[in-house]
Chain A
Amino acid sequence: MSTTAIAGPAATAETGPTPSKKRALPYRTISWTVPVLLLLGWELLARAGVIAPNVLPAPSSVGTTAWHLTETGELPRHLWESLKRAAVGLFIGAGVGLVLGILTGFSKLFEAIIDRNIQIVRAIPFLAILPLVMVWFGVGESGRYFLVALGTLFPIYLNTVLGIRQVDPKLLEMGRVAGLSKLDIVRVVILPGALPSILLGLRLALTNAWLALVIAETVGAPAGIGFMATNAREFLQTDVIVLVIVLYALIGLTTDLIARGLERRLLAWHPNYAPSGGRK
């Protein structure tokens, strides 16, 4: 008798989750509908004259500005300049951070020599040294590269060291038992094991790279989208300023997408990143 009493509710509980799965469908649509509605509201209010154009221009007028500036070739030129800066700075910063991180991760001596210095320098918000960078490099390109590189170095360095430290020592032992050379153990066991952490460092570095670029370009740059914004401020071209802000957002989104794509590709083995989890 008691068995039936227990079996009843348990059976209903098991069929419970199935119908709720159907109800979960429109969330994605809703999540996209809301920003579109906000954008529409903004457009309507601007057209109705509720929002003054010099405070916040209508999305359509920002779009028109973007089209004009693209036609004249001004926007592509500035955009290219900015992307180049970010890429060069990131390449230098990430490269140095990765090499230093690997050295620190593997060598106690190197850690003793370098790690504390990096931790001390890291305590300074990297944007705080902007005046010093300007004194050192003047208003030339190298100062901007330096600032971006500085912003990207630390997240890559820290996460590389952390990733190497977190590799399971049991796997290292297995590598030795399998007769791998020291170099092979690094290549086959340690670096792939550290990769999730290194890629996380890269994503953090990308955020910092754009932050560094915004600051570097608003201070005395002769070109770049940051320069566009500063220039537009002088002439109260609010539409151009909004356009630059939107561009920064788009670039940030794109780089994040690329970084995530990289994670999905390189970490296909990892249960947290795999496109379809569970047993095949």
Chain B
Amino acid sequence: MSTVLAEKITRRYGERTVLHELDLAIERGEFVALLGKSGCGKTTLLRALAGLDPVDGGSLSVPQRRTVVFQEHRLLPWWKVWRNVAIGLPRATARAKAQSALEEVGLANHADAWPVTLSGGEAQRVALARALVREPELLLLDEPFAALDALTRIKMHGLVRDLTSRHRPAVLLVTHDVDESILLADRVLTMRDGRIAAVHEVSATARERGSASFAALRGTLLGELGVSEA
């Protein structure tokens, strides 16, 4: 059975229907990227899966153990890094678990630092460690790299691909970045008018930047998003 199963889910804000009888299934270990213009409902979908917003209709089944990495790191500034990672964990094993999660993101020696002393990329890696330490069955990524500089973003892509292939949660990545979606995802969805408009499986060759199939998929996706490159 799928880890995430949404059937005909609907979400309205007043007159406006943001999610319109949307269907979605994500399997364990599958990395799905969701592209769409601003206001197409992709963040609403992610928030519904996270349990942050309710749905008005349809049926939605998500695992109990799920977590979100947001665009901002959202670390508590009054807690040292390791406590932020261990937030909500049982006290006895908290420190050890936080430490090993921090090791995985390469920040083991920052465990006792204050969040304000971290760079943007480091803070986002801590947020990633905080998500992983919960051993989620569903990992929701809400444009987690959007605020990072280009070089840090490339490093983060590698890290995320590494970690998700090791822990194998179901992943939903919401992003504006077409290249990023191709590089990371097994499946890229585009969304329009509250529905999934198109589904593209990403082949191994398409993931190689500069390959012909990468360029082809990129062109198709941009076209679906209503952008034409000269």
Contact = CB atoms under 8 A, between A and B. Distances in A.
22 contacts: A170-B70, A170-B72, A170-B74, A171-B76, A173-B52, A174-B70, A174-B74, A175-B87, A177-B50, A177-B52, A178-B67, A178-B88, A179-B88, A188-B87, A192-B78, A268-B114, A269-B116, A270-B78, A270-B116, A271-B116, A274-B114, A279-B117
A171 B74 contact: yes
A180 interface: yes
A193 interface: yes
Interface of A: 170-171, 173-180, 184, 188-189, 192-193, 195, 267-271, 274, 278-280
A266 B134 CA distance: 29
Nearest to B74: A174
Contacts of B87: 175, 178, 180, 188
Interface string B154-191: 00000000000000000000000000000000000000
A173 to B, nearest CB: 6
Interface of B: 50-52, 67-68, 70, 72, 74, 76-79, 87-88, 113-117, 130, 134
B67 A177 contact: yes
Contacts of A170: 70, 72, 74
Contacts of A270: 77-78, 116
A269 B67 contact: no
Nearest to A174: B74
Give the 5 A-B CB pairs with smallest separation, nearest first. Answer: A174-B74, A178-B88, A192-B78, A269-B78, A177-B68
Which of A176, A177, A184, A271 lies at the interface centre, i.e. has the most chain B CB atoms within 10 A of its CB? A177
Contacts of B67: 177-178
Nearest to A195: B78
B78 A193 contact: yes
A271 B78 CA distance: 10
B80 to A, nearest CB: 8
A269 B88 contact: no
B83 to A, nearest CB: 9
A212 B191 CA distance: 65
Contacts of A188: 76, 87
B68 to A, nearest CB: 5
Contacts of A271: 116
Nearest to A191: B78
B52 A280 contact: no
A189 B79 CA distance: 10
B77 A184 contact: no
B78 A176 contact: no
B77 to A, nearest CB: 5
Given A170-B72, A175-B87, A189-B76, 15 more contacts: A170-B74, A171-B76, A173-B52, A177-B50, A177-B52, A177-B68, A180-B87, A188-B76, A192-B76, A267-B78, A269-B78, A269-B114, A274-B114, A274-B116, A280-B117
Nearest to A267: B78
B77 A269 contact: yes
A271 B118 CA distance: 12
Contacts of B76: 171, 188-189, 192
Contacts of B115: 269
A170 B52 CA distance: 11
Contacts of A193: 78
A184 B70 contact: no
Contacts of A173: 52, 74
A195 B79 CA distance: 13
Given A177-B67, A177-B68, A178-B130, A184 B52 contact: no
A170 B73 CA distance: 10
Contacts of B114: 268-269, 274
Contacts of A267: 78
Nearest to B87: A178
B88 A180 contact: yes
